[in-house]
Amino acid sequence: MDTKKSHIPRKADYFGHNTEKKPITASSAGYTKHSRHEKSGAVSGDSHIAHSDKKKSGADSSVTSSGHDTKTKSTTSKQNTEKTTTTITTAAASSTALRARRSRIVQNYLVVWLDANIDEKKEHFQKSLVELRKIVVTLDLFTDVDQCIEYLKRIDGQKIFLITSGSLGKKTVPLIHDVAQLDTIFVFCINKDLHKVWAKEWSKVKGVHGTIKSICKRLIKATRLCDHDAIPMSFVPKQIVAEGAAGPDQKNLDQLPATYMYSVIFKDIILEINDDDKKSMKPLVNFCQQQKVSETELKEFKHKYRDRSAVWWYTKPMFLYGMLNRALRTLDMEGMTKLGFFIRSLHRQLEQLHRQQSANFQTALTVYRGQGMSKEDFQNLFNSKGGLLSFNNFLSTSKKQKVATSFVQDALERNPHIVGVMFIMTIDPSKISTSITPFAMIDEHSALPQEQEILFTMHTVFRIDEITQTPSNSRLWEVQLTITDESDPQLSTLTNRIKEEVSGERWYRMGKLMLKVGHFDQAEELYDELLKGASDDSDRAFIHHQLGGIKDSQGKYPEAAKFYEKSLNVYEQILSPNDPKLATMYNDIGLLYHNMGEYSKALEFYEKANKIYVISLPPAHPDLATSYSNIGQVYNNMGEYSKALEYLEKSLKINEISLP
C-alpha cells in the first residue's frame, strides 16, 4: 500500500502530485568568450554528436511548434555607439557557466562564433560584434574546438547559427553537422576560394563570406524564418474534443494537451488583470537589463512607449518581439508575467481595430499562412483532423497567398527534412466573438508594413477540416482551417470545463495547472515570482507551502522541509488549532519525513493531522481513511506491526463504506 498525500488547501486550488516531470529549457543573454586554454568539461550524454558523412543534409529541424510569427522581426536597432562586455569562462567554472547562459536566452536562437584568432580588443572585431548584436542578443565566442562542440551539444530548445573561420570550420563541420539544434553555418574567411569546395559538401553551410555584413544579411533572413516556423501550436484530436466536452469525467480533461490548457488559462489571466502600464514598465525594464538587452532599445521603449501603439512596438525589429514569443513558447513565467501588460495592450488594440474595420469584415474571407513544420509536429496535426488547432501566440497571416508561399518555399529550401504547410484559413466573423478572438488588418499601424497582413490575437482556435498533399510537391501540404471560438457550443463547454477545473485567483491558477500536469520547474519559477510580490504573511505562507510541495515532488526533501516550516509557522498563528487546513499541512509534512525515513517525526505530524480530522470530518470521510493508513504504514516501517494493523484496519473499514 502506498503512502498517500491528502490535498493541500490553497486559494481555491489544491497541490496535486504528478510524477511526470517535463522541464522546459530556460534562456540566456549576452555573449561569452571561451578561451582555447580551457579544458573541456564532461560531455553530456543526452545530446550525442555523430560523425557525419559528407553530402549529409541537416538533421530534422524539430522546432517544436513554438515561438514566433511571420514578420521579419530581427533586432536591427542602431547600436553603433553601444559598448559590449565579454565574460571569460574559466576551466573550473565551464559546466556551471554553460548551464547559466542557457538560463538567460531571450530569443529562439543564438549565434556561436568559432575562430582561433578572436581578439575582442581589436577595433574591427568590436565593430563586427556591434553588427551581429543588431540581430541577436546571445552571442557566444569560442577559440577552442572542443569547448565549442561541448557547448553545441548542451544547447536545447534554441536554434544555433554558427560562424566559423575557414580553417576551423573544415575541421569542425564534419563533427557537428548533425546536431539537431544547429540550423545554419556561415564560413567567415577573407580567402573565400580556399574553402568553397569543401563548404559545398555540407547542406547547412550557407556560403563562404568575406565580410561580417554579408553574414548579417543572411543571418537576418535565417532568424526571420526561425521565428516564423517556431509559433507554438496545440493539436486536439476530434475524439478528445468530443469527450472533453461530453461530461464531467476527469480522465477526458487529462487527455488534453497541457499547452492548450496553458493557453486558455494564461489568456484568461492576462485579460482580467488591469494593472497600469506605467507601473508595469519598471519591472519589465529591470528584467530586460538583467537579460543584457540593448540599453539603446530599452531607453527608446521606456521613453517612447506611449507615443506608439502596441501593434507598432510588436512589429518593430527589436528585443520585444523575440522576448514575447520565446516567453510564450517556453512558458518562461518571469518573462510572461513581466510582459503581461503589453500582451493585454496588444489584444485590446486588435479589439479596437476590429471594431473600426468592421465594414471590411461583413462576409467570410480567406487568409493564408505558409511555414515549415517538423515531421513529428505535422504528424500530430495530421492525426488531429476534425479536431482543433490552437495558435498559442499572436498569429500573423496575409490575404495574399503569394506572401505565405514565399515563407513555405524558404522553409523547404532551408531544410530538406521538414514538411511544408500552407494553412488556408476561412474566417467567418459572424461565428466568433470579437472580444474573444479579435483580428485586424495592421498594415497602416505596423512598423514594417506587409502586404495585406491580418494579425489575430493569441490563442486563436481553428477547426481542422482537410489536409491534402499537393500534387506538385510531395513535401508540401495544404491544410484547410475554419476559425472558431467559444461561440461554438462544443468548444465553449470544453473551455468552461478547463476554467472550472483550474479555478483560483489570477497567477495562482497558472501555478495550479502547472502542478496538475507535473511541470514542477515552471511552477517553482512562477511561485518564486509571486513570492516577490506577496503582500502579506498569509500569501507568503501559502506560496512557501507550494514551494515545499514542489521540492517534495522533486525529491529535494531538506529544501521542502524548510519551506513547509516557514509556511507552518505562519498558519499556526493565524488558523484555529482544529482548522482542517492545518490537518492537511501536518499530513504533508508527515509524508515528507516518512519519505526521508525519519519515522518518529512522520508519526508526530500524522497524529497531529489525525486528531484534527477526527474532530472536523464525518466518521466515514475518505481523508480520515487516508490519515489512518498513513499512521499504519509508518508503524509498519518502525516494526510495530500490531499498531500498524490496528490503523490499517480502521482505514479499510472506512474505505469499505465510502468507496464505490
User: Which comes out higher in pLDDT, residue 329 or 587?
Assistant: 587
Instruction: Tell me if 508 is assigned to some domain.
Output: no
Query: Do 567 and 430 reside in the same domain of the chain?
Result: no
Q: Are 285 and 320 in contact (CB under 8 A)?
A: no
**What nine digits make up the cell of 540?**
507568503
**What nine digits make up the cell of 588?**
504533508
Nearest CA among 207, 139, 131 for reference residue 169: 207
Q: What is the dihedral of CA 503, 504, 508, 512, to 10 degrees?
A: -30
The whole-angstrom separation of Cα 211 and Cα 198 is 19
Side-chain-side CA neighbours of residue 90 (13 Å): 2
Averaged pLDDT, 642-658: 95
Instruction: Tell me if 547 is assigned to some domain.
Output: yes
198-212, 280-294, 402-416, range with the lowest pLDDT: 280-294
pLDDT tens figures, 482-494: 999 888 888 888 8
pTM: 0.76
The whole-angstrom separation of Cα 574 and Cα 558 is 25
pLDDT at position 357: 95
User: Which comes out higher in pLDDT, residue 51 or 420?
Assistant: 420
Instruction: Tell me if 361 is assigned to some domain.
Output: yes
Query: Do 430 and 450 reside in the same domain of the chain?
Result: yes
pLDDT tens figures, 259-309: 888 888 899 888 888 777 788 899 999 988 888 788 888 999 999 999 899
Per-residue confidence band for 252, with pLDDT thresholds at 50, 70 and 90: low
Nearest CA among 324, 313, 319 for reference residue 266: 324
Say what percent of the chain tops pLDDT 70. Answer: 83
pLDDT at position 240: 86
pLDDT tens figures, 620-630: 999 999 999 99
Instruction: Tell me if 607 is assigned to some domain.
Output: yes
Averaged pLDDT, 472-482: 97
Number of domain units in the chain: 3
pLDDT at position 248: 59
Query: Do 197 and 239 reside in the same domain of the chain?
Result: no
CATH number at residue 533: 1.25.40.10
Q: Are 373 and 385 in contact (CB under 8 A)?
A: no
Instruction: Tell me if 644 is assigned to some domain.
Output: yes
pLDDT at position 544: 96
Query: Do 215 and 239 reside in the same domain of the chain?
Result: no
pLDDT tens figures, 134-160: 888 889 999 999 999 999 999 987 899
pLDDT at position 38: 36
Query: Do 361 and 400 reside in the same domain of the chain?
Result: yes
pLDDT tens figures, 341-358: 999 999 999 999 999 999
Query: Do 548 and 402 reside in the same domain of the chain?
Result: no
Secondary structure of the chain: what % helix, strand, coil (to 5)?
50, 15, 35
Averaged pLDDT, 16-45: 32
Using CA atoms, how far residue 343 sits from 268, 336, 420, in Å, is: 12, 9, 29
Per-residue confidence band for 18, with pLDDT thresholds at 50, 70 and 90: very low
Residues 6+ apart with CB under 8 A from 587: 5, 6, 605, 606, 609, 626, 627, 630
Q: Tell me how far the alpha carbon of residue 293 is from its chain's centroid.
A: 19
Strand order in the sheet with 365-373: 233-236, 388-391, 460-469, 476-484, 419-427, 365-373, 395-398, 453-456, 439-441
Query: Do 485 and 603 reside in the same domain of the chain?
Result: no
Other C-beta atoms lying within 10 Å of the C-beta of residue 471: 7
The DSSP string of 8-23 is: EE-SS-EE--------
Query: Do 130 and 251 reside in the same domain of the chain?
Result: no
Q: Are 502 and 261 in contact (CB under 8 A)?
A: yes
Instruction: Tell me if 81 is assigned to some domain.
Output: yes
State which of 445, 470, 499 marks the end of a domain: 499
Other C-beta atoms lying within 10 Å of the C-beta of residue 275: 10
Instruction: Tell me if 282 is assigned to some domain.
Output: yes
Query: Do 244 and 293 reside in the same domain of the chain?
Result: yes
Which class for 219: exposed (0-12), middle (13-18), buried (19 or more C-beta within 10 A)?
A: buried
Range of the domain at 418: 233-499
| pLDDT for residue 40 is more than 50 | no
Conformational region of residue 30, where left means phi above 0, alpha means psi within -120 to 50, and beta covers everything else: left
**What nine digits make up the cell of 507?**
497567477
User: How high is the mean pLDDT of the chain?
Assistant: 83
Averaged pLDDT, 531-539: 89
State which of 197, 229, 261 marks the end of a domain: 229
Side-chain-side CA neighbours of residue 96 (13 Å): 6
Query: Do 481 and 572 reside in the same domain of the chain?
Result: no
Averaged pLDDT, 496-523: 87
Q: Are 408 and 422 in contact (CB under 8 A)?
A: yes
Q: Nearest 5 degrees, angle CA 180-CA 183-CA 185?
A: 120
Say what percent of the chain tops pLDDT 90. Answer: 54
| pLDDT for residue 310 is more than 90 | yes
76-80, 129-133, 417-421, 575-579, range with the lowest pLDDT: 76-80
pLDDT at position 13: 37
Query: Do 65 and 147 reside in the same domain of the chain?
Result: yes
**What nine digits make up the cell of 196?**
568553397
pLDDT at position 632: 97
pLDDT at position 293: 83
Side-chain-side CA neighbours of residue 473 (13 Å): 15
Q: Are 231 and 63 in contact (CB under 8 A)?
A: no
The whole-angstrom separation of Cα 140 and Cα 21 is 30
pLDDT tens figures, 580-612: 999 989 999 999 999 999 999 999 999 999 999
Instruction: Tell me if 321 is assigned to some domain.
Output: yes
pLDDT at position 250: 58
The whole-angstrom separation of Cα 586 and Cα 118 is 59
User: Which comes out higher in pLDDT, residue 145 or 64?
Assistant: 145
pLDDT at position 104: 53
| pLDDT for residue 80 is more than 50 | no
Give the CA diameter of the chain. 86
| pLDDT for residue 19 is more than 90 | no
Other C-beta atoms lying within 10 Å of the C-beta of residue 434: 17
pLDDT tens figures, 93-119: 344 444 444 445 678 899 999 999 998
- What does the buried/exposed string (b/e) look like for 50-71 if buried means 16 or more CB atoms within 10 Å of the residue's CB? eebeeeeebbebebbbbbbbbb
pLDDT at position 17: 33
CATH number at residue 327: 3.90.176.10
State which of 499, 529, 548 marks the end of a domain: 499
Query: Do 220 and 83 reside in the same domain of the chain?
Result: yes
The whole-angstrom separation of Cα 86 and Cα 140 is 9
